[in-house]
Structure 1
Amino acid sequence: MRYKTLDVTNTRGLDFEEFSLSRDLLKGIFEKGWERPSPIQEASIGIALSGQDILARAKNGTGKTGAYCIPVIERLDTSKDCIQALIIVPTRELALQTSQICVELGKHIGLKVMVTTGGTDLRDDILRLNSAVHLIVATPGRIIDLMEKGVAEVQDCKMLVLDEADKLLSQDFQGVLDRLNPYEINLMEELTLLGVTQFYAFVQEKQKVHCLNTLFRKLQINQSIIFCNSTQRVELLAKKITELGYSCYYIHSKMAQHHRNRVFHDFREGHCRNLVCSDLLTRGIDIQAVNVIVQI
C-alpha cells in the first residue's frame, strides 16, 4: 500500500531526471505515475547506478521495488541477448508483481523480462530461455535448478538483487553479505508507516471469530487480508467468514499454482473484499485497496 505520509513524501525534492536516466526509461517511470523519487529511491538510485553494492532497508509501501528496478534496468544493455541481471524474491506472488513492474518500466527500451518460480512447468522456462532474456525475476529454488541444469547461462550476469534478503538468507549466509562490503541505507528507525494504526486484542481462541465479526461490522473496510499460522486454519477461517455472510477468498502454499494465481488476481482486481492467507503474502505485496490487516 502506498501512503501519502511523511515517510513517503518527505523527500529532498530530487527529480528522476537528475539521475541521468535514459529518456526511454524515464518514459516508463512517468507512465507508471511515479512523478518524483521517494526517500528510499533518492537515497539508493544514484549509489546503485555507480555500481556499488547496497544493503537498503525501508518500510513497506515506500518504493523499494522502484529503488532497485530503476538502476538495474538503466544499467542493462538490451542490444545484447543475454541474462544481465537476476532479481531473487521469496514468493511466487512477489515474483509476478516485481516482473510486471520491470516490464512496465522497460517497455520503451526493448527489455525482455522472464519470471520463473517453482510450481510451474520447467519446459516452458527452457523454451523461454531459447530466446532473448535480459532480466530474470525468480524464486531461489527454480533459478538454482535452471542454473545447475545449464539452461540459464549467467556468465554475463553482473547484477544480483535479493528482495527481502532477510527472508531469503539464513544465518549461515550472513557472512556472504558481510563480504559484499555494501553501502548501507537504513530508513527503518520506526517499523510502521505513518498513517498506520495498530491495535492488539487479547481474546481466547474461541472468541476470535466473534472478535473478527465485530471488526467487520465496526470498521470501514475497503479490502482486508487476514493472516493465519497454518493452511488448515486458513481454510477453516475462510469457511467461517463466509458463513457469517461476508465475501471471502483464501490462499495458501498447498494450493495448485494456477489456483493461487487466479485467487490473487481476482482479489487484486477487487472481486472479493476479504482474503485469508498463510504467511505466503507477508512480504512486499502491494494491493492499493487493502486498508485493514488482521493477524489471527
Structure 2
Amino acid sequence: MQTSNGDHGEEENWKKELVKPKADTRVQTEDVTMTKGQDFSDYFLKRELLMGIYEKGFEKPSPVQEEAIPILLSGRNVLARAKNGTGKTAAFIIPCLEKTDVTKQHIQVLMLVPTRELALQTSSIVKEMGKHMNVQCMVSTGGTTLKDDIMRLYNVVHVLVGTPGRILDLADKGVADLSKCHTVIMDEADKLLSPEFQPILERLLAHCMPNRQIGLFSATFPVAVKTFKDKHIENPYEINLMDELTLRGITQYYAFVEERQKVHCLNTLFSKLEINQSIIFCNSVNRVELLAKKITELGYSCFYIHAKMQQSHRNRVFHEFRNGGTRHLVSSDLFTRGIDIQSVNVVINFDFPKTAETYLHRIGRSGRFGHLGLAINLITYDDRFNLFRIEQELGTEIKPIPRDIDRSLYCV
C-alpha cells in the first residue's frame, strides 16, 4: 500500500523520537542472537508501547519474543518453552499491553506467577513498558494486607499481576471482577500447575471470560502441564526453543568435597573467581541462615533470603541485592523462579539439588539474556548418583573443576 509523502514523513519523524537503546556489546549466546531479524515495529504496536519498549532498553526481539508476540497478538493460545533469561517475560507483556484498551475500566489481563518476588518484578516491567499508555497495573500477593488490595480495586485496574491464592481470594469475594478478563498468562507454568496450585488455577479460570486466551510460559513442561493443557487450552500454538539450548552459555563444574570442607572450598572460590554477583543455593532454610553467618565471619558481605522470612524483609533483601547492595546472596529454592538479575555471573550449589528441574532453574539465575555464566556444584559422596542422573536427564556435562577457570567463560 502506498502512502503520501506527508504520511511517510510523519511516520519517520515519530520513529526518530523513540529513544532506541545502545546496542549491547557483551558476548551473547545463540538462544538470544539466533533471531529472524525482526524489529518491534514490525508488529504494528502502538507508538506509546514502542516508546516504553525502547526506553526499557530492548533493541530487537529475542527468538522467544519473535515466536510468541505475533501469535499472542492474533488471539491464539500459546505454550512457550524457552531457557531462563531469554526474554520470556517481555514475550507476553508486550502483546498483553498492546491488547489492553485503556478506555475500558475493568481488568483485561491476569498474569499469574508462583512467588511474590516474581510478581513484583513482573508488575514493575508492565509499568515501565506501559508508562506512556496510561495502563493501570496492580500487583497482589499473599503476605500483604488484604484490605489495601480491596481499596486499590475500587480504582481502575487493567492488568492484575499476582500469586494464585491471593487473586482467587479477591475473585471469590467479588472484589476482583475477572468476568471481562480476556487474557490469562501463567509464568513459570510448571510450578503454577503443581498439585498445590492446580485446583486454584482451575477455579480462577472459571471467573474469567469463557473464551479467554491463555499463555503458558516456562523452561520445563512436566506431565502436569500436559494434563492441564488437554483439559483447558484449546488448540494451543506450541513454541519450543529448548532443543540444544537448555544450558548454553553456562559453564558447569563440580568440586568433589566432604561436607566439612564445603565452607573452605567456598572461601577459595570467592578469592579466585571474578564475581560480579553470585547466588549460593542451599537445600534448607536452616542451612541458608547458617551459611550466610559463616560467609560473614569469613569477611564477605552477603544477604540471605528464604520463604520463612517476613515478606517485608524478603522484599528489602531482593531490592538491595538487585541494586548491588552486596555481592553474594544465600538462598533457598524460593529464588530459582524467574528472578532476573543480569549482573549475576556465578551460581554456586553449596548443596546439590535433588532434581534436574531444580538444577536447571537454579543455574539459570546466571547467564541471563544470553550472557555467559558459571555454575559450580559442591558434590559430596552422597550426591554422586544425583550428579550422574541430572547430567543424563538434561543431556549435559558437568566437568571436574580445573585449578584455574578461564575468566572469558563467565566474565565480559
- Normalised by the size of structure 2, how large is the TM-score? 0.70
Tell whether the 8 Å contact from 2:108 to 2:181 is kept in structure 1 after alignment: yes
Structure 2 Cα separation of the partners of residues 140 and 203 of structure 1: 41
Pick from 168, 174, 178: which aligns with 2:230?
178
Give the secondary-structure state (helix, strand or coil) at the position aligned to 1:102.
helix
Match of 1:224 in 2: 278
Tell whether the 8 Å contact from 2:193 to 2:228 is kept in structure 1 after alignment: no
- Measured on the aligned residues, the alpha-carbon RMSD in Å equals 1.3
Match of 2:258 in 1: 204
Pick from 36, 39, 54: which aligns with 1:12?
36
Give the secondary-structure state (helix, strand or coil) at the position aligned to 1:36.
coil
1:73 aligns with 2:106: no
Aligned partner of 2:292: which letter? A
Q: Deviations over 1:122-154 (max 9, x none)?
A: 000000000000001101111111111111100
Match of 1:146 in 2: 170
Aligned partner of 1:217: which letter? S
1:239 aligns with 2:290: no
Give the secondary-structure state (helix, strand or coil) at the position aligned to 1:239.
helix
Give the secondary-structure state (helix, strand or coil) at the position aligned to 1:201.
strand
Match of 2:4 in 1: none
1:30 aligns with 2:54: yes
Deviation at 1:157, TM superposition (A): 0.2
Structure 1 Cα separation of the partners of residues 135 and 121 of structure 2: 16
1:89 aligns with 2:113: yes
Deviation at 1:194, TM superposition (A): 2.8
Match of 2:83 in 1: 59
Deviation at 1:191, TM superposition (A): 5.3
Deviation at 1:196, TM superposition (A): 1.4
Deviation at 1:257, TM superposition (A): 0.7
Structure 2 Cα separation of the partners of residues 31 and 83 of structure 1: 26
Give the secondary-structure state (helix, strand or coil) at the position aligned to 1:160.
strand
Aligned partner of 1:18: which letter? D
Structure 2 Cα separation of the partners of residues 4 and 103 of structure 1: 27
Pick from 121, 127, 131: which aligns with 1:107?
131
What runs of 5+ residues in structure 1 fail to find an aligned partner? none
Match of 1:116 in 2: 140
Aligned partner of 2:117: which letter? E
Give the secondary-structure state (helix, strand or coil) at the position aligned to 2:139.
strand
Give the secondary-structure state (helix, strand or coil) at the position aligned to 1:211.
helix
Structure 2 Cα separation of the partners of residues 228 and 111 of structure 1: 39
Structure 1 Cα separation of the partners of residues 260 and 62 of structure 2: 44
Deviation at 1:170, TM superposition (A): 2.3
Aligned partner of 1:189: which letter? D
What runs of 5+ residues in structure 2 fail to find an aligned partner? 1-25, 199-223, 351-412
Give the secondary-structure state (helix, strand or coil) at the position aligned to 1:136.
strand
Structure 1 Cα separation of the partners of residues 308 and 97 of structure 2: 34
Give the secondary-structure state (helix, strand or coil) at the position aligned to 1:270.
coil
Deviation at 1:178, TM superposition (A): 1.7
Give the secondary-structure state (helix, strand or coil) at the position aligned to 1:197.
strand
Greater CA deviation, 232-241 or 165-174? Answer: 165-174
Structure 2 Cα separation of the partners of residues 205 and 182 of structure 1: 47
Aligned partner of 2:35: which letter? T
Deviation at 1:190, TM superposition (A): 3.2
- Normalised by the size of structure 1, how large is the TM-score? 0.97
Structure 2 Cα separation of the partners of residues 65 and 265 of structure 1: 19
Match of 2:368 in 1: none
Structure 2 Cα separation of the partners of residues 19 and 266 of structure 1: 36
Tell whether the 8 Å contact from 1:83 to 1:156 is kept in structure 2 after alignment: yes
Q: Deviations over 1:62-100 (max 9, x none)?
A: 100000000111111111110001000011111111100
Q: Which is higher, the Rg of structure 1 or of structure 2?
A: 2
Q: Which has the bigger relative contact order, CA under 8 A and spacing at least 6?
A: 1
Pick from 183, 186, 189: which aligns with 2:243?
189
Deviation at 1:3, TM superposition (A): 6.5
Structure 2 Cα separation of the partners of residues 227 and 149 of structure 1: 38
Deviation at 1:24, TM superposition (A): 0.8
